[in-house]
Amino acid sequence: MASFFEDGVDTETKNCVLARWWERHNKGFSLWWLALGRESVELQRHILLVASPDMPVSPQAGKAASSPSASATSSSSTPDSNDSGIKSPAAMFGSDGPHESLTSIILPELSQDGLLASGGQLLILLLARRLVAQDLYFSNDVQALTRIFDEGRLPSLSRNALSSMDTPFVDPMDEDENVRSLGPDVSAESREAIISHLKSGRLIHADVFMALKIRRAALTAFILGLVLKYEEEIAEKPSPTYEALLRGEIQQMQFAMSQEASKTS
């Protein structure tokens, strides 16, 4: 996926670096976070709000939203894909828009009361689940959002750009993230195959894909905010730091790209 933040590093690269950071420093971070809770829950709350300033106090009830209908054929890149940098749904919709409903639907984990429960242990569980999973929780995110979409609860993020398309979908392996759809002459067998791939997660409905990008970008930004705050607060800095790991990852990517370019030249 190619959800970029303002620093130009994509979400999934950051997730890979955060996973490497967590593998090295999860014990130190966990002890620091839980010690904060024993001292004062308000200290923990402050850290949460540093990492995610518009995090709600408690989970908000999402308002049901129907999915757009589809009935034509076309192909295009993902509309409004927000590659310029989204840290939360509020950044997309503004303070008076429908972001509260969207936040509660696609980011139900992000609430102060939820993450501060049990002395803050739920936050540690959230980080461990996302950063230890082999695919960094990608398939779980797809399954969760697809279920919400199938229930008719996922708000459309395409601003009706997909309403004329028959079953718009994105192949997550497509680096260009093109939106494809079924043509008017599609065979029953082909339609059935696409539907099967959508159910399995091999393909992703376009509305689900856009929600997926926002969800993963927002959670990555939140986790990164926690990591940077931890590195700032503790007396003995962890080694290597997140910045050092990121620098190494980028250097490896650049080297790999240069090697590939030299093969084709």
Residue 30 CB coordination number (10 Å): 17
Structure confidence by residue, pLDDT tens digits, 76-129: 444 444 333 334 444 444 434 444 468 889 999 999 999 999 999 999 999 999
| Three-state secondary structure of 178-223 | EEECCCCCCCHHHHHHHHHHHHHCCCEEHHHHHHHHHHHHHHHHHH
Q: What is the pTM assigned to this prediction?
A: 0.81
Give the strand pairing for 75-77 and 178-180. Answer: antiparallel
Structure confidence by residue, pLDDT tens digits, 23-66: 999 999 999 999 999 999 999 999 999 999 999 998 753 333 33
For 216-226, what is the mean pLDDT?
97
For 245-254, what is the mean pLDDT?
91
Q: Cβ(206)–Cβ(153) under 8 Å?
A: no
**CA-CA-CA-CA dihedral for 225, 230, 233, 235, to nearest 10:** -150
Residue 188 CB coordination number (10 Å): 7
User: Given this model, what pLDDT does residue 243 score?
Assistant: 95
User: Given this model, what pLDDT does residue 65 score?
Assistant: 33
User: Given this model, what pLDDT does residue 59 score?
Assistant: 78
Structure confidence by residue, pLDDT tens digits, 191-214: 999 999 999 999 999 999 999 999
